[in-house]
Chains A and B, each alone.
Chain A
Amino acid sequence: MIDKNNYEAFFLDYLEGNLSEAEQQALYCFLLQYPELKAELDDMQLTEVEQPDARSSKQSLKDIPFNTDFEDFCIAKLENDLTYEEAGLFDEFLLADNARTKAYLQYEKTKLTADKTVVYPYKSELKKQRIVLFPYWKTAVAASVILLMAVGIRLFNSPQTVNRLAIISSLPKTALSPIENKAVSNSLAKRYYPYFTTKNQLAEVKNNSSEEKIKRQVELIDPAALQEIQSELKPLANAPVYADIIKERKEPLQQTPANSGLANIGLAWKSSIKREPQSLLYAAAKAGVNKISSIVKSKIKTRQIYDNQIEVSKLDAENQMYVYSSEKR
Chain B
Amino acid sequence: METYADGIFRFILKNLTDEDKAHDVVQDTFEKLWRNRKNVNPEKVKSYLFTTAYHTMIDYIRKERRSDNFDKVREEDCAHSCQYSDLREVLDMALAQLSDVQRSVVLLRDYEGYSYEEIAQITALNESQVKVYIYRARKKLKAIIGTMEAVI
List A residues at the B interface (Cβ < 8 Å). 9, 12, 16, 43-44, 46, 71-72, 75, 78-79, 106-107, 109-116, 118-123, 125-126, 129-130, 133
Check if B18 is an interface residue, CB within 8 A of chain A: no
Q: A43-B136, A118-B13, A123-B5 are in contact. Are A112 and B91 (CB under 8 A)?
A: yes
Q: Tell me how far the C-beta of B40 lies from the nearest C-beta in chain A, rounded to whole angstroms.
A: 13
Nearest-neighbor residue (CB-CB) of A76 within chain B = B135
Contact at A120–B129, with CB atoms within 8 Å?
no
Nearest-neighbor residue (CB-CB) of A45 within chain B = B132
Check if B60 is an interface residue, CB within 8 A of chain A: no
Nearest-neighbor residue (CB-CB) of B112 within chain A = A114
Check if B76 is an interface residue, CB within 8 A of chain A: no
Contact at A110–B31, with CB atoms within 8 Å?
no
> In the bound complex, what is the Cα–Cα distance between A110 and B132 (angstroms)?
16
Per-residue 0/1 for B1-44: is the Cβ within 8 Å of any A Cβ (1 yes, 0 no)? 11001111110010000000001001100110010000000000
Contact at B95–A112, with CB atoms within 8 Å?
yes
> In the bound complex, what is the Cα–Cα distance between A109 and B141 (angstroms)?
9
30 contacts between A and B (CB under 8 A): A16-B128, A43-B139, A46-B135, A72-B135, A75-B134, A75-B135, A75-B139, A79-B134, A106-B142, A106-B146, A107-B142, A109-B91, A110-B94, A112-B106, A112-B107, A112-B110, A112-B111, A116-B6, A118-B9, A118-B10, A120-B2, A120-B9, A120-B26, A121-B23, A122-B23, A126-B1, A126-B30, A129-B27, A129-B31, A130-B30
Count chain A CB atoms within 10 A of each CB in B23, B30, B135, B145 and give the residue with the most: B135
> In the bound complex, what is the Cα–Cα distance between A121 and B22 (angstroms)?
11
Q: Tell me how far the C-beta of A200 lies from the nearest C-beta in chain B, rounded to whole angstroms.
A: 47
> In the bound complex, what is the Cα–Cα distance between A173 and B87 (angstroms)?
93
Residues of B within 8 A of A125 (CB): 27
Nearest-neighbor residue (CB-CB) of A111 within chain B = B110
Per-residue 0/1 for B106-128: is the Cβ within 8 Å of any A Cβ (1 yes, 0 no)? 11011100000000000000001
Across the A-B interface, how many residue pairs have beta carbons closer than 8 Å? Answer: 86
Query: Residue A120 contacts which of B6, B137, B139 (CB distance < 8 angstroms)?
Result: B6
> In the bound complex, what is the Cα–Cα distance between A43 and B143 (angstroms)?
14
Residues of B within 8 A of A130 (CB): 30, 34
By Cβ-Cβ distance, the 6 closest A-B pairs, closest first, are A120-B9, A112-B110, A110-B141, A120-B5, A114-B111, A119-B6
Nearest-neighbor residue (CB-CB) of A108 within chain B = B142
Q: A112-B107, A120-B8 are in contact. Are A46 and B142 (CB under 8 A)?
A: no
Check if B138 is an interface residue, CB within 8 A of chain A: yes
Q: Is the interface of B mostly helix, strand, loop or mixed?
A: helix
Nearest-neighbor residue (CB-CB) of A124 within chain B = B2
> In the bound complex, what is the Cα–Cα distance between A85 and B137 (angstroms)?
26
Residues of B within 8 A of A79 (CB): 109, 134
Contact at B110–A109, with CB atoms within 8 Å?
no
Nearest-neighbor residue (CB-CB) of A127 within chain B = B1
Contact at B142–A126, with CB atoms within 8 Å?
no
Check if B131 is an interface residue, CB within 8 A of chain A: yes
> In the bound complex, what is the Cα–Cα distance between A317 and B43 (angstroms)?
120
Q: Tell me how far the C-beta of A241 lies from the nearest C-beta in chain B, rounded to whole angstroms.
A: 71
Query: Residue A129 contacts which of B6, B7, B34, B128 (CB distance < 8 angstroms)?
Result: B34
Nearest-neighbor residue (CB-CB) of B113 within chain A = A114
Query: Residue A12 contacts which of B95, B110, B129 (CB distance < 8 angstroms)?
Result: B129
> In the bound complex, what is the Cα–Cα distance between A126 and B27 (angstroms)?
7
Residues of B within 8 A of A9 (CB): 129
Q: A118-B13, A120-B8, A123-B2 are in contact. Are A110 and B138 (CB under 8 A)?
A: yes
